[in-house]
């Protein structure tokens, strides 16, 4: 019985073997690297962190300032990515959440809230609970702890971030976006102030078992920075607020910001993760960057709407 002859090799018109997809990708990378300016080749970890942070901040600022729709889209994408990272981390802790249902529900919260307001949040929660119930009943390997993890992830991420959307929708035009960005800035500079002041003067650990690098000195400095940034709301048209309310709200939101940071640190420490993901080179995961934002967004919305500082958008 004769042996089968090998399949003929694919060649180009010049008779040379055709490269496969992996070789093509490698050639494209090599050409792109050759055209890259020398100062951008082999970047340091600080340069990578700086560029990634600049892209992240620019994208968020643009989306929030453009319109309510773009704000809704960026929040839905952020919720979906953060939920995916959250469920991925919990998988390593022997949990088996339904990522598909959880990620869909987390992204659906801002979308349904945009079109239906509070009723949208109620509707997503109802269908989310119903879907998880069906999954738990018909998939026998599921445990009630898996259902709880799945529910917590979407509520903690998607529903809480919706608070920023309500704030954005309360004032028409660009000023609604400016208001949201001030809240963003109060969180970012709260972290920065706490880090700078704490690294120089911090002597007393805030939560040594959960986040050993945080100090009470940095914590207090961060709260002061947060209170100062909230005073910017006095200059935003459409916001009815006093100086004392700015200071009080800044203090409360500064506390919730630290609480969100410690919560994520507790989650990562319990499952043995340093970063929640790798989507942001030099920074880790998106959940790492939004941990403080989640409880702060809902706290800010409750304070501003309850005390009549902003008109309800629905």
Model confidence at 32, pLDDT cuts 50, 70, 90, reads: very low
Which structural domain, as residue segments, surrounds residue 116? 48-306
The reply to whether 260 falls in a domain is yes
pLDDT one-digit tens code per residue, 271-313: 888 777 667 665 678 888 888 999 999 999 999 999 999 999 8
In a domain, 10, yes or no: no
28 is a domain residue: no
Low-confidence winner among 112-116, 143-147, 185-189, 268-272 (lowest mean pLDDT): 268-272
Is the pLDDT at 208 greater than 60, yes or no? Answer: yes
Residue 313 lies in a domain: no
- The rounded distance, in Å, linking the Cα atoms of 261 and 222 is 13
Alpha helices (H) in 171-239, listed in sequence order = 174-201, 216-230
Q: Is residue 138 part of a domain?
A: yes
Contacts 24+ apart (CB under 8 A), 99-102: 101/128, 101/131, 101/132, 101/135, 101/150, 102/150, 102/151, 102/153, 102/154
Q: Is the pLDDT of residue 62 over 80?
A: yes
Q: Are 90 and 97 in contact (CB under 8 A)?
A: yes
pLDDT of amino acid 204: 72
Mean pLDDT within 73-94: 92
For the record, the structure tokens of 92 come out as 């390593």
Most confident stretch, 12-21, 26-35, 154-163, 191-200: 154-163
pTM of the model: 0.82
Tokens representing 83 are: 């939920």
Q: Name residues whose C-beta falls within 8 Å of residue 179's C-beta, 6 or more positions apart in sequence.
A: 167, 168, 170, 171, 233, 236, 238, 239
Residues 264, 295 contacting (CB under 8 angstroms): no
How many CB atoms neighbour CB 43 within 10 A? 14
| Domain presence at residue 168 | yes
At residue 1, the pLDDT reads: 44
Residue at 13 is within a domain: no
- Average pLDDT value over all residues in the chain: 84
Counting other chains too, the contacts that 53-62 makes at CB distance below 8 Å and 24 or more residues apart are: 53/280, 53/282, 53/283, 56/280, 56/283, 56/289, 60/184, 61/181
Distance CA 70, CA 76 (A): 10
Query: 92-111: per-residue pLDDT in tens?
Result: 888 889 999 999 999 999 99
301 in a structural domain: yes
Whole-number Å distance between alpha carbons of 118 and 114:
9
Distance CA 66, CA 177 (A): 8
Assign 214 a pLDDT band (cuts: 50, 70, 90).
confident
Number of separate domains in the chain: 1
């Amino acid at each position: 019985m004769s042996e089968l002859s090998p399949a003929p090799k694919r060649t180009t018109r010049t008779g040379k073997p055709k490269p496969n997809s992996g070789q093509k990708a490698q050639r494209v990378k090599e050409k792109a690297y050759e055209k890259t300016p020398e100062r951008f080749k082999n970047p340091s970890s600080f340069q990578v962190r700086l560029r990634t942070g600049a892209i992240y901040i620019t994208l968020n600022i643009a989306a929030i300032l453009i319109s309510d729709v773009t704000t809704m889209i960026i929040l839905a994408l952020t919720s979906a990515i953060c939920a995916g990272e959250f469920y991925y981390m919990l998988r390593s802790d022997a949990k088996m959440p339904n990522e598909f249902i959880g990620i869909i529900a987390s992204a659906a919260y801002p979308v349904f809230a945009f079109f239906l307001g509070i009723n949208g949040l109620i509707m997503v929660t109802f269908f989310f609970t119903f879907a998880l119930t069906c999954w738990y009943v018909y998939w026998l390997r599921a445990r009630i702890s898996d259902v709880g993890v799945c529910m917590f992830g979407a509520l903690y991420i998607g529903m809480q971030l919706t608070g920023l959307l309500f704030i954005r929708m309360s004032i028409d035009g660009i000023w609604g976006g400016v208001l949201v960005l001030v809240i963003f800035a109060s969180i970012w500079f709260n972290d920065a102030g706490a880090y700078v002041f704490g690294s120089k003067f911090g002597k007393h650990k805030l939560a040594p078992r959960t986040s050993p690098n945080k100090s009470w000195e940095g914590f207090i400095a961060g709260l002061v920075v947060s209170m100062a940034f909230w005073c910017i709301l006095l200059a935003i048209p459409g916001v009815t607020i006093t100086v004392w309310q700015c200071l009080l709200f800044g203090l409360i939101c500064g506390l919730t910001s630290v609480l969100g940071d410690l919560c994520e640190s507790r989650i990562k420490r319990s499952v043995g993760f340093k970063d929640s993901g790798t989507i942001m080179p030099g920074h880790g995961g998106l959940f790492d960057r939004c941990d403080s934002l989640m409880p702060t967004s809902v706290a800010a919305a409750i304070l501003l709407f309850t005390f009549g500082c902003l008109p309800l958008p629905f």
